[in-house]
């Protein structure tokens, strides 16, 4: 969505007849560009309608299972979201299960789905400590060989989706909470220089993709985000192609950091895009109605904390409905973290998020 903010809003307020040939092009490229055909009350008031109107992304992490087996899921996904992230399908273990042998089936399915529903794709992720195939984890490679392996994986994957992935979470979870570099295969063998190298290789493979460093617990101004800020500054000074910071934003209800907006702004002030990349807001189960109301407030605040900052590119949720969320399996006793419940009914959180995206709410 490279439209200047306001373009769509203007068009929405004063619809003009569109020549027939042009109308076809609009249908193909932008869901929001249909106000002359679609009453305000329908498409424009979906999450993606509001996001399109502001020229930003509203995304969801998508698993291959619901994508291929649950029509209620895809109906919501395609109505409400203009961006998707592969929840697992583009990770190392999925893509390169044995050395030099690639499995693109699930990743290709998602990209094809996105293309046919006018959704952008965020790629996730190329240098992370987790979800590595065992040949790689246990291979005991020399630094030189590991460097070659990482470069070839990045060249191949970013190259395959050139022009189809608008942003990549290149580097994922590279820091400890105290701001030191987290131990990982990459960090331990290659040193922090792997970050600049990975970004440069990806830039060569697809110069148009926005390249991100992504992490959690960096939403507040704290030791971890300070360390990331220092690294980002340094990479930019060195001319490394770093374009954005992804704030995962796996929150607990009622605990949004108060410094979030100011923290995102300091990264934006470096000239970087900022995006919320994995938003979910978990609740101790069973969720009370007070907690569901608080969660709605939190969704609104989180989205406003990004959209209120220059260079906020968008907000991605880590899932669509509570039915497939990673939360219950990861945070013992927690769940109900997404705006749709297990039966695809919109929760109060949907209204909160929608109001956060609607410039007139």
Q: Which residues bind ligand XIL (CB under 6 A)?
A: 87-88, 172, 248, 278, 326
Cis peptide leading into 24, omega within 30 of 0?
no
Residues belonging to the active site: 173, 278
Helix (H) or strand (E) holding 274: strand 273-284
- Could you tell me the smallest distance in angstroms from the CB atom of residue 326 to ligand XIL? 3
DSSP state of 349: H
Closer CB to ligand XIL, residue 64 or residue 155?
64
Residue 61 or 309 with smaller CB distance to ligand XIL: 61
Question: Which residue number, 1 or 165, has a Cβ lying nearer to ligand XIL?
Answer: 165
Nearby residues of 129 by Cβ (< 8 Å), 6 or more positions away: 173, 182, 183, 184, 185, 186, 187
Shortest Å distance, C-beta 21 to ligand XIL: 42
Beta bridge partners of 283: 335
Q: Report in angstroms how near the CB of residue 215 gets to ligand XIL at its nearest.
A: 8
Residue 115 CB partners (closer than 8 Å, separation 6+): 164
**Chain residue at closest Cβ approach to ligand XIL:** 326
Closest distance to ligand XIL from the beta carbon of 130 (Å) = 7
Q: Are strands 83-86 and 57-62 parallel, antiparallel or unpaired?
A: parallel
Closer CB to ligand XIL, residue 46 or residue 225?
A: 225
Q: How far is the CB of 361 from ligand XIL (least distance, A)?
A: 29
Closer to ligand XIL by Cβ: residue 104 or 326: 326
Q: Please report, to the nearest 10 degrees, the dihedral formed by the alpha carbons of residues 16, 19, 25, 30 taken in order.
A: 10
Buried b vs exposed e over 82-117: b needs ≥16 C-beta within 10 Å? bbbbbbbbbbbbbbbeeeeeeebebbebbbebbeeb
- 226 phi, psi to nearest 5 deg: -65, -45
């Amino acid at each position: 969505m490279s439209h200047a903010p306001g373009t769509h809003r203007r068009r929405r307020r004063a619809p003009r007849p569109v020549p027939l040939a042009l109308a076809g092009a609009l249908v193909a490229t932008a869901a929001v560009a249909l106000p002359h055909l679609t009453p305000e009350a329908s498409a424009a008031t979906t999450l993606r309608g509001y996001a399109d109107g502001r020229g930003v992304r509203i995304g969801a992490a998508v698993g291959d299972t619901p994508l291929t087996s649950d029509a209620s899921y895809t109906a919501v996904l395609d109505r409400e979201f203009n961006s998707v992230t592969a929840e697992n399908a583009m990770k190392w273990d999925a893509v390169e299960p044995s050395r030099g042998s690639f499995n693109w089936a699930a990743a290709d399915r998602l990209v094809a789905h996105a293309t046919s529903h006018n959704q952008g794709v965020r790629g996730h992720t190329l240098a992370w400590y987790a979800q590595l195939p065992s040949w790689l984890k246990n291979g005991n490679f020399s630094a030189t060989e590991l460097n070659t392996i990482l470069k070839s994986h990045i060249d191949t994957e970013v190259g395959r989706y050139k022009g189809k992935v608008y942003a990549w979470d290149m580097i994922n979870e590279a820091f400890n909470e105290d701001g030191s570099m987290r131990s990982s295969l990459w960090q331990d063998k290659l040193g922090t220089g792997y970050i600049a190298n990975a970004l440069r290789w990806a830039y060569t493979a697809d110069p148009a993709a926005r390249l991100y460093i992504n992490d959690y617990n960096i939403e507040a101004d704290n030791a971890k985000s300070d360390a990331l800020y220092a690294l980002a500054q340094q990479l930019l000074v060195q001319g490394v192609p770093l374009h954005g910071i992804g704030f995962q934003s796996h929150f607990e209800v009622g605990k949004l950091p108060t410094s979030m907006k100011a923290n995102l702004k300091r990264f934006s002030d470096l000239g970087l895009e900022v995006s919320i990349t994995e938003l979910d807001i978990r609740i101790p189960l069973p969720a009370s109605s007070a907690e569901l109301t608080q969660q709605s407030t939190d969704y609104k605040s989180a989205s406003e904390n990004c959209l209120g900052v220059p260079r906020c590119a968008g907000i991605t949720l880590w899932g669509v409905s509570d039915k497939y969320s990673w939360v219950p399996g990861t945070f013992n006793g927690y769940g109900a973290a997404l705006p749709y419940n297990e039966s695809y009914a919109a929760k109060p959180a949907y209204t909160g998020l929608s109001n956060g995206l609607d410039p007139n709410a």
